[in-house]
Structure 1
């Protein structure tokens, strides 16, 4: 993954977290910071981070999960990538792609209800890579747009 893509993913997660946290009369993070972010990503990311933290009293479980996800993405940047070298326009594609993905995320419990499965089964499928998912901390986050995996047969069961 390129540096532009990594920073784009970071901005998308911060934007979604901001939508869920910031006052309704406040413009979105991406609309306020996108241009500056492209020119000075390290500096502007610091501003965004400080703004989000200032509203952490509004966070519930989903917002904490998004913040953990944001932290994981920032941690995924190599030390030499975390600087103010301008981003190319390609970071925008990563922003839009990640936003679309975030809009479809559901928890393992939500997936279990949707697919009429036990939550433990869903988590086991996640761990085995049979469900498109990401682990953030101790929580599985699942792409809710994928088809019902009920037809999956464990190799151990064959």
Structure 2
């Protein structure tokens, strides 16, 4: 059972290293959390909604740079 738990925790660590909240994305990208939520719902960034929370994929270009082009 201990081995199973370690495997699950390892998988969770892998996932958590690759996602961020809208607040974290806002800070990283220099945009407001509200703007990040709009980008998520408009599918302008790679994200998934779980309940009321958007989970944003970390390793993608800053959408702020795309908006200024």
TM-score in terms of structure 1 length: 0.35
Determine helix, strand or coil for the equivalent of 2:49: strand
- Please give the alpha-carbon distance, in whole angstroms, between the structure 2 residues aligned to 1:27 and 1:112: 37
1:138 pairs with 2:61: no
Gaps of at least 5 residues in structure 2 are: none
1:107 pairs with 2:14: no
The Cα shift of 1:112 comes to 0.2
> Which structure is higher in helix share?
1
Gaps of at least 5 residues in structure 1 are: 1-25, 34-95, 154-158
How many aligned positions are there? 64
1:30-69 alignment, distance < 5 Å: 31=7
> Which structure is higher in strand share?
2
**Partner in structure 1 of residue 34 of structure 2:** 120
RMSD: 2.6
Determine helix, strand or coil for the equivalent of 1:112: helix
TM-score in terms of structure 2 length: 0.74
Determine helix, strand or coil for the equivalent of 1:142: strand
Structure number with larger C-alpha Rg: 1
1:29-82 alpha-carbon deviations (Å, 9 max, x no partner): 264x8xxxxxxxxxxxxxxxxxxxxxxxxxxxxxxxxxxxxxxxxxxxxxxxxx
- Please give the alpha-carbon distance, in whole angstroms, between the structure 2 residues aligned to 1:128 and 1:134: 12
